[in-house]
Amino acid sequence: MDKRGSTVFVIDDDESVLGALRRLLEAHDMTVRTWSSTQSFLDEHDPSEPGCVLTDLAMPGMNGFDLQEALAHVDSQRPVIFLTGHGDIPASVRAMKAGAVGFLQKTVRPELLLDEIRAALEKDAAARESGRHLAALTTRLRSLTPRELDVLELIVAGMMTK
């Protein structure tokens, strides 16, 4: 799958962390966009743009959980990875249950972080791909006449034209 064209959306209120992450990811040929607050990300990002979210958990104003909730609210399928400076098990459980694809601490090895990001991007691409595929199929389905629809159903049921 072609990951180029996917963006990593990085949210962290710590300027130096944000800058360092940008450098790290760009050094590994990733496209990066950064925000220092959840609110500004929600206001500015394009949901149709492919990519994943890499976010801090504890931030002033809306934190990482609030972000998850906001994305869920708009049925966003975008994968979210948490990268937090402190982390405890309850937080990670909550994050994962709410649909995060990863929960990492800032003591993590950069290589592992990069792997997780790549996996998330792939997942996003795959999701989009299958989404597109599904959308195409749905369009085609919609273009069938009612009789073709019946035949389809029969085909699906019997799977035999004989």
Partner 1 sequence: MPIRPPFILTLGSVLVSFATLMCSGSVAHALEEAEPKRVLLLHRSDLLLPATIEQDQITRKAIATAVPHRVEFHSEGFDIVRLSGPADGAELLSLLLKKHAARPPHLIVAHGPMQDVIAQNRARLWPGTPLMFAGIAEDRVEDPGFPRGIPGTTIRLDLRGTAELAMTMQPRARRLVIIAGNSEYDLKWRQRAVVALQPYRHRIVVEFVTDRTVEELEQFVASLSRDTILIFTTLYRDAANRVYVSREVAQRLTAVSSAPMYTLYPSQVGLGAVGGSVQDWNAQGDAIGDIARRLLAGERPESLALFTPSPPVCKLDWRQLQRWGIAENRAPKSCQILFRAPTFWSQYRTEASFIGLVVLILSALVVALLMERRSRQRAEVEAERQRGELAHASRLTTIGALSASIAHEINQPLFAILSNVVAAEVLLKSDHPRLAEISQILGDIRRDDERASEVIAKLRELLQRRPVKMRSLQTNEIVNSILRFVAGASRLHGVVITTELSDALPPIQGDHVQLEQVVLNLVMNAIEAMADIAAERRHLTVRTVEMPPGSVEISVRDSGAGIPEVIIPKLFDAFFSTKRDGMGLGLSIARSIVTAHGGRIWAQSRTDGATVCFTIPVSHADDETQRDAEIAA
The type of residue at 78 is R
Structure letter (DSSP) for residue 28 = T
CA 30/CA 122 separation, integer angstroms = 13
- In the numeric block, which tokens belong to residue 98? 């709410």
Q: How far is the CB of 41 from partner 1 (least distance, A)?
A: 14
Residue whose pair of structure tokens reads 């949210």 in the numeric block? 11
Closest distance of CB 76 from partner 1, Å:
20
Is residue 43 part of the contact set for partner 1 (CB under 8 A)? no
Minimum CB distance to partner 1 smaller for 31 or for 127? 31
Q: Map residues 74-93 to x or -, x wherever contact with partner 1 holds by CB under 8 A.
A: -----------xx-------
Q: Pick between residue 18 and residue 52 the one whose CB is nearest to partner 1.
A: 18
Task: Quote the CA–CA distance of 83 and 143 in Å, as a whole number.
Answer: 45
Alpha helices for the chain (secondary structure H): 15-27, 38-44, 64-73, 89-97, 110-143, 146-158
Contact characters 98-137, partner 1, x per CB under 8 A: -------xxx--x---------------------------
**Residues in touch with partner 1 (CB under 8 A):** 13-14, 16-17, 19-21, 23-24, 26-28, 58-63, 66, 85-86, 105-107, 110
